[in-house]
Structure 1
Amino acid sequence: MTEAKPPVPVRPAATVLLARDGAEGIEVFMVVRHREIEFAGGALVFPGGRVEEDDRRLGGPDPLDGYRIAGIRETFEECGVLLARPKGSAALVDATRLLGIEALHRVRVAKGEQPLSAMLAEEELEPAIDGMVHFAHWITPASRSKRFDTQFFLAAAPPDQVAVHDGHESEDSVWIRPLQACQEANEGRRRLVFPTRKNLEKLARYATVAEALAACRQARVVTVTPEMVQTEAGWRLSIPAEADYGGSVFDVLDAPAI
């Protein structure tokens, strides 16, 4: 009798919904994952990645702070937006200062040659973790060959910083209205993965970034681990209703991430 294989260990990760107010409503910054990347290759996703030990050390007493730091680092690496402020200042780094910081540090941080903590210390900056509002928590099902324990955060995009994809992990980027991204995926023009789609739909409930941030600060985040379930209509994806995605059983509209 063959013994069942143990589940693949989960890797802690952070993802950032970087949002701004557009002419037709709230917009979110998304990148297209490079098609040669194994996990979610070619998919339209939010910036994010794994939590590193330096992120944990840099975080505060809140267990989520290490994830917040990872989100700040990944946002800087993937789209050149830095959610940090000069020490003692209430304002985030401005675009002029950011140009110099990016030229000196972005590639080095992205390649792991310099930890974020060293960059912040050298530039006399502190991470703006107070602006990283907990939005969602998803864990990849045990059946998958790669698994992530991902905390999602909502953050307002600094108005004078320019977001642009890195050209390595991501090959394209776009500011897009949440439901527009879903519609373009329905039309076959984009590729989404299930957690991204559901979080886009949740973000689309809000008319402005301020409204979204205020609502999410008050909301309870419920952990989601999707499961395939057999229904009378066929196989569907099941998640907890209390996670507040407008239901508990959903059609499988998107291909798996891997």
Structure 2
Amino acid sequence: MTDAPTRPRADDNPGGADAGGRRPKRAVRPRDAASLILWRETPKGIEILMGRRHRNLRFMPGVLVFPGGRVDPDDHSASPVADLTEETRRKLEISATPARARALAYCAIRELHEEAGLVLGRMEGEVLRPDFAPLRYLTRAITPTRMPIRFHARFLIAEARHATGEIKGSGELEEIRFFALSELHQQPVANITALILSEFEAWLALKPAAREARPLIRIQGMDSRVTERPA
């Protein structure tokens, strides 16, 4: 995809938190994180749910990001209504234990609910019971070693038809809505987000049967595209 005309700093962190600050003396261990690319096909083309970081933030103001964040301890205790597909589970476990893989899946769904008000699964009172079955694995990215706050983010995909509810922001992000892929080329996005969007477009261009078999990559550091070893 083409570069946006206004581009924020390239040291975006995939988890969605503010990673600004001084360079650490020693490399910081990345925190596990997950983001969800919720997409739909419309008569006008493919659209993706994204939100805009508040314009008064010190780091990356006004930049569009996917719903996502770091894994919380409680993410390990989720009780899903349906489990991960074999392919999605296997790909998550390239870089995570089985328990951590499920926590990452729940993190992505939880962040979708917290940031956008949508539910992938069902609510039982105040408890979110996630539906892991619609999730598909896209890629992962690791923040550069020079950053004071680092993330090891996994990017998952789900079709919007599986989500219920109305979009309503929690205050974490502004202007949460579905953006056309073509529109995103003119929006301010960080380098890592542009790379992830490119990976998604490549995934989308494949026939459904070929998507699961495509070679896996990870984004290491600023923009290194590294081929994964088989699980």
TM over 0.5: yes
State, as a whole percentage, how many aligned pairs show the same letter: 27
Equivalent residues in 2 for 1:27-176, closer than 5 Å: 27-58=47-78, 61=98, 63-85=100-122, 105=126, 119-120=127-128, 126-158=129-161, 161-176=164-179
Q: Mark the CA change 1:35 to 1:165 in structure 2 (over 3 Å): closer, same or farther.
A: farther
Q: From the superposition, tell whether residues 71 and 148 of structure 1 become closer, same or farther in structure 2 (CA, over 3 Å).
A: same
Deviation per residue, 1:75-95 (Å, 9 max, x gap):
00111111114xxxxxxxxxx
Give every structure 1 segment of 4 or more consecutive aligned residues whose post-TM-superposition deviation is greater than 6 Å.
Answer: none
Correspondence for 2:44 among 17, 24, 44: 24
In 2, Cα distance between equivalents of 1:127 and 1:29: 18
8 Å Cα contact 1:134-1:153 kept in structure 2 = yes
Gaps of 5+ in 2: 1-23, 84-97
For 1:221, give the aligned amino acid.
Answer: L
Q: Which has the higher helix share?
A: 1
Distance 1:207 1:63, change over 3 A: closer
Give the TM-score taking structure 1 as reference length: 0.63
Unaligned residue ranges in structure 1 (runs of 5+): 86-97, 106-118, 121-125, 185-189, 228-237, 244-258
Offset from partner CA, 1:56-87 (integer Å, 9 cap, x none): 232774642111100110000111111114xx
Q: What amino acid sits opposite 2:174 in the alignment? A: E
> TM-score of the superposition, structure 2-length normalised?
0.70
Contact 1:137 1:152 in 2 (8 A): yes
How many residue pairs end up in the alignment?
188
Work out whether residues 139 and 216 of structure 2, in 8 Å CA contact, stay in contact via their aligned partners in 1: yes
- Alignment root-mean-square deviation, CA: 2.8
Amino acid at match of 1:150: A
Counterpart for residue 224 of structure 1: 219
Spell out, residue by residue over 1:5-54, the C-alpha distance to the aligned partner (whole angstroms, 9 max, x if none): 11123111110000111113221111001234455432101101111111
Higher relative contact order (CA 8 A, sep 6+): 2
Q: Structure 1 residue aligned with 2:188, among 186, 191, 201?
A: 191
Q: Which amino acid aligns with 1:240?
A: R
- Secondary structure class of the residue paired with 1:64: helix
Report the equivalent of 1:187.
Answer: none
Residue aligned with 1:176, SS: strand
Select the structure of larger CA radius of gyration.
Answer: 1
- Cα distance in 1, alignment partners of residues 140 and 147 from structure 2: 17
Equivalent position amino acid for 2:66 in 1 = F
Structure 2 distance, partners of 1:166, 1:70, is 17
Change (3 A) 1:62 1:219: farther
Q: How much has 1:159 moved relative to structure 2?
A: 6.3
CA displacement, residues 67-124 of structure 1 (integer Å, 9 cap, x when unaligned): 1100110000111111114xxxxxxxxxxxx7xx7xx74xxxxxxxxxxxxx14xxxx
